[in-house]
Amino acid sequence: MNGTNNNNETQPVQRLPPGLAERLKGEGALAGVLAVAAFDLDEKGRYAGGWLVLTADRLGIFRDLDTEWTGDWTPVPSVTKATIVDGLGASLLRLQQGERIAGEVRFTLRHARDVAKLHRHLERLIDGKTATEAPEPPRKDEKKLRCDTCGRVIPPWSETCPACLSKRRVLSRLLDFVKPYRWQALVGFFMALFGTLSGLVRPALTKPMMDRGLGLGPGHTPDYPTLLLYVGLFAGLMLFSAVADAVRERLMATLGSRMSRDIRDRTYAHLHSLSLSFFSKRPTGSLVTRVTSDSDRIWDFVAFTLIEVSMAFITIVGVGVAIFLMDWRLACIVVLPVPLMFGLTFYFHRKLHRGFDHLFHKWSLVTAAVADALPGVRVIKAFNQETREIRHFGRRNQDFYEGEVSMITLWTLFGPVMQFCSQIGTLLVWVVGGYWVVHGRMSAGTLMAFIGYMWMFYGPIHMIAHMDRMFNRAAASVQRIFEILDTAPVIFSKTGARQPERVEGKIELRGVSFSYDGVRKVLENVDLTIEPGEMIGLAGPSGGGKTTLVNLVSRFYDVLEGQILVDGIDVREYDVGALRRRIGMVLQEPFLFHGTVAANIAYGQPEATTDEIIAAARVANAHEFIVRFPDGYDTLVGERGHTLSGGERQRISIARAILNNPPILILDEATSSVDTETEKLIQQALDRLVAHRTTIAIAHRLSTLRKANRLVILDKGKIAELGTHEELGHKDGGVYAKLIRLQTEMQSVMAIS
């Protein structure tokens, strides 16, 4: 590793403070630096500057004491283990030499990312690898710091480089959504074109109306019938323009609405095709904003901005030709302020675009605050934290308000400055043109027609300048939507995927390894065979890989190494939907949707009859409490089922799984947070549910573990023990025996209390 990567990030040695760099240079260690990371806490948790410096054979810990860098080197071969211990607001890097702690470095979350990178590099060196033999694996979960194209730093509020964003290219992709309605778009365009052309003719009628009708031209006398003729033509053109504009607005507004509908449908559908890893890295509020607010901005852009900007350009060209044909000298005066106006537009355009991107980020934070708080309103009220949440929302809302005010300030300044520039041209035309009319070198009608065209010339320039705001907002919205649509699903069904008619339920894990970040393995070389109809209990310390294992079986993620087979076929060969329809899940915290009890039970089988729903509820011991509700099975449950107790939600979840009738069942400790009587009812329902099904149960309670045919004890991503409850419970020094002892002691303490 030479300190340079594809993202053009700064070389490690260039990040070091000058004083420390000079010391390392004097020691001859500067050229061999592989990675550096700053830390900002001392051993007592007080703020103190320092740097970690890693070479191929040494790790240096240096601190800044009164402008003098002090520290020592630790040989990498003497370090047997390097661990990052996460804390609340701060963490530490711990170095061990055997059982002895050789050193600890504390740091806040500000430096967590850099320290984690150095730690990963150090771990590879401890394992005997070199930077050349084992380069740093790419981190899919880490956002790029710099743009691959221009090398600029990517702001934290953006997923891509704003400097390299081609707005025309982004907006041109909207044409894919226009194609189904191209005839409607063409009719709307021509209606707008006809209305614009009729508007271009009207100022030209001013000249004969004044020169001939009013007799103001040389050699003409007032002629009222002639005046009425031109007034009639003027009125006809006005009527035609009004009708064309009405038809155009109706067509384009409908077109924009249909496009927005299609974009929302496609974006929402694509979100459901993405893997869980996509949602774990993005706030819900941001995704909601993209589906709702961003699509609405696209409607506004398509319905009005796009056509009006197009007509503005046509008007500028048409009027420009007309005024140069009428008098090229006055035309030159008219266009005199135009370069300044376009220069100001470009200047404000850059500031506004950056401002709108910042504003969107702040608006996403406001939305996220609401989206995070409302689902957890019971917890908020339980801990009396309403005031805290209100303040939290208020801070974000105030931040958005301040950003919006700064944008309003910039925008309201832009309009008057542009207006002043156009008025300079107007004054010059009146001065020069008026002089020519007074001295007989131009008729009054010609001057009035010219002034009419002049305002038609400046008007579209103002429109384009002001619509730049809509253009930027639409481009940013389209970019954010296509960021979702361009994200390829990690988990998908391959062409010709199997559609199993029947699944026996045999599950095999062969050499399965998995990592969420591409570096630390959550599961490592796991081999396990589960026979059809067998119940396996998963147990072990927290973080051992239990949830990851069942997520891999359900194919929420794909294994990195090895295979998972169902009935002898790799799960990646199955159609994803078909596989998951044959796997039922009962979670520790069951999720219920806002709707009726019956609809929640039938969620996996929407076509189920009322009798089938009731039968499933009876098996799940849920029928008795459901019929006690005033509306029975038609009772509406609140969002996430908050109107029901935990035990009631769990039994509805079990009824849902029973109705789905899956050959493979996954249980995540379904009785861990209910009272004894409710646990008994749920356990009875589970006993009926697991009968004749292959079952994997993540279990912590002995009552569940004893019923399993075999227990799989996972510890640090590996199978530590495998056997029955009786075999493992009496194993001296075993992980499972230790868990039983701890649970028994805890129950004894609770009983005494």
- Could you report the per-residue pLDDT of 181-211, keeping only the tens digit for each? 888 888 888 888 887 777 777 777 777 777 7
Cβ atoms 654, 618 nearer than 8 A: no
Identify which of 474, 473, 468, 484 has the alpha carbon closest to the alpha carbon of residue 259: 474
Position 298 scores a pLDDT of: 75
Cβ atoms 13, 36 nearer than 8 A: yes
Check residue 212 and report its DSSP letter: I
Cα gap 295→584, rounded to integer Å = 35
Question: Confidence band (pLDDT; 50, 70, 90) for 309?
Answer: confident
Cα gap 310→306, rounded to integer Å = 6
Look at the pTM and tell me if it is higher than 0.85.
no
The region of weakest confidence among 49-58, 345-354, 651-660, 692-701 is 345-354
For helices 224-273 and 284-291, the axis angle rounded to 10 degrees is: 140
Alpha helices by DSSP H, listed for 621-675, are 623-627, 646-660
Burial of 615 (0-12, 13-18, 19+ CB in 10 A): middle
| Model confidence pLDDT, tens digit, residues 38-97 | 888 777 667 778 889 988 888 888 887 766 788 888 888 888 888 876 554 567 788 888
Question: Confidence band (pLDDT; 50, 70, 90) for 4?
Answer: very low
Cα gap 277→174, rounded to integer Å = 28
Q: Specify the DSSP element, H or E, that contains 119.
A: helix 112-126
Cβ atoms 617, 667 nearer than 8 A: no
Cα gap 190→540, rounded to integer Å = 71
Cα gap 357→162, rounded to integer Å = 9
Check residue 210 and report its DSSP letter: I
pLDDT above 70 for 468: no
Cβ atoms 284, 439 nearer than 8 A: no
Cα gap 726→710, rounded to integer Å = 10
Reduce the DSSP state of residue 565 to 3 states and report it. Answer: strand
Cα gap 454→692, rounded to integer Å = 85
Per DSSP, the residues of 55-82 read ESSEEEEEEEETTEEEEEEEEGGG--EE
Cα gap 437→443, rounded to integer Å = 6
Task: Map out the domains of the chain with their CATH numbers.
Answer: 12-126 (2.30.29.30), 170-485 (1.20.1560.10), 512-752 (3.40.50.300)
pLDDT above 60 for 151: no
Cα gap 198→220, rounded to integer Å = 27
β-pair type (569-570, 583-586): unpaired
Cα gap 128→131, rounded to integer Å = 10
Identify which of 256, 460, 473 has the alpha carbon closest to the alpha carbon of residue 357: 473
Within 8 A by CB and 6+ apart from 741, the residues are none
Establish how many alpha carbons lie within 13 A of residue 265's alpha carbon, considering only the half-sphere containing its beta carbon.
Answer: 7
Cα gap 167→478, rounded to integer Å = 9
pLDDT above 50 for 315: yes
Answer with the residue of higher pLDDT: 7 or 752.
752
Cβ atoms 535, 691 nearer than 8 A: no
| Model confidence pLDDT, tens digit, residues 593-619 | 888 889 988 888 888 898 989 988 888
Position 72 scores a pLDDT of: 83
Work out the mean pLDDT of the chain and round it to a whole number.
77
Read off the amino acid at residue 359: L
Per DSSP, the residues of 440-502 read TSS-HHHHHHHHHHHHHHHHHHHHHHHHHHHHHHHHHHHHHHHHHHTS--SS-PPTT-B--S-
| Model confidence pLDDT, tens digit, residues 93-131 | 888 888 787 888 888 766 777 888 888 888 888 877 765
pLDDT above 60 for 519: no
Position 102 scores a pLDDT of: 80
| Model confidence pLDDT, tens digit, residues 700-719 | 666 667 778 888 888 888 88
557-562-568 Cα angle (round to 5): 90
Answer with the residue of higher pLDDT: 25 or 747.
25
Supply φ then ψ for residue 567, to 5 degrees: 55, 40
Cα gap 753→749, rounded to integer Å = 6
For helices 182-208 and 224-273, the axis angle rounded to 10 degrees is: 160
Cα gap 153→7, rounded to integer Å = 10
Question: Confidence band (pLDDT; 50, 70, 90) for 528?
Answer: very high
pLDDT above 80 for 630: yes
pLDDT above 50 for 223: yes
> Cα–Cα distances in Å, from 27 out to 15, 35, 73, 260?
18, 17, 11, 64
Answer with the residue of higher pLDDT: 278 or 1.
278
pLDDT above 60 for 494: yes
Cα gap 20→543, rounded to integer Å = 39
